[in-house]
Amino acid sequence: MKANITIDEAKTLLHKYIKEEFLLNHSRETEVIMRGLAKHFKEDEDFWGITGLLHDLDMDDIGTDIQKHGERTCQILEQEGYEIPKMFDAIKSHTEALGHLGIKRKNKLDFALSAAENITGIIYAYVLMRPDKTIDGVKTKSITKKIKDKTFASNVNREAINDIEKTGLSRGEFIEIALDSMKSIAEEIGM
C-alpha cells in the first residue's frame, strides 16, 4: 500500500471514478479552496488539495445510497493501493452532518474540507443567479448574505461552513480565500 499520492495519480483516479461534469467541477473547486486554506495555514498544499480533489470520489459509485458516502471513497482508494489515514479520516469526517459513519471532525484539515466542499455550493448557486453567470466581481459580503439566507441553496450545510471558525479563521476570511481560489480557475469550471 502507498502512503502517499501524487496530483497526477489523484487526477487519474478522479476521471476514472467520476463522470459527471458537475462533480468534476465541484471536486476541482474543493481542491483549489483546500490549497488556498493550506497556504493560509502553512500546511502541505498538495496534500490538502488532493484531499479536496478526491473527497467525493465515490459519488457516481454510491448513487442514491448516501449512507456509504465517505467510507466508499476510502475503500476505492484502498482498492487502488493507497492507505493514507489522515486523508481517509478527513474524507470520512466530512460527512459528519449525515451522521451515518459516526466520525467527528477533529482537526484543521477535517474542518477545512467540510467547509470548503460546502461553500462551493453557495458560490456556484450565487454565480448561476447573476446575469453574467460569472464569478468575476463576486464579493465576500454577497456570499455572507446568501449563507444567512437559509432558503438560498437550502441543501448546503451552513454549520459546516461556519465551523471553519474552529480552525481560527473567520468566516469572512474563509469566504475571501474560497472566492479567490475559485476565481483562479473560473474559465476551467465555466464561471
Task: Provide the residue ranges of all domains of the chain, joining segments of one domain with +.
Answer: 7-183
pLDDT higher than threshold 90 for residue 132: yes
Average pLDDT value over all residues in the chain: 95
Q: DSSP characters for 84-117? A: -HHHHHHHHHTTGGG-SS-PPP-SHHHHHHHHHH
88-130 pLDDT, tens digit each: 999 999 887 666 667 889 999 999 999 999 999 999 999 999 9
Specify the CATH number for 7-183; select among 2.120.10, 2.40.30, 1.10.3210, 1.20.1070.
1.10.3210
Closest by alpha carbon to 152, among 116, 122, 174, 114?
A: 122
pTM summary value: 0.96
Question: Cell 490549497 appears where?
Answer: 35
pLDDT digits (tens, 9 = 90+) for 155-188: 999 999 999 999 999 999 999 999 999 999 999 9
> Around Cβ 41, how many Cβ atoms within 10 Å?
16
Cell digits for 67?
Answer: 449512507
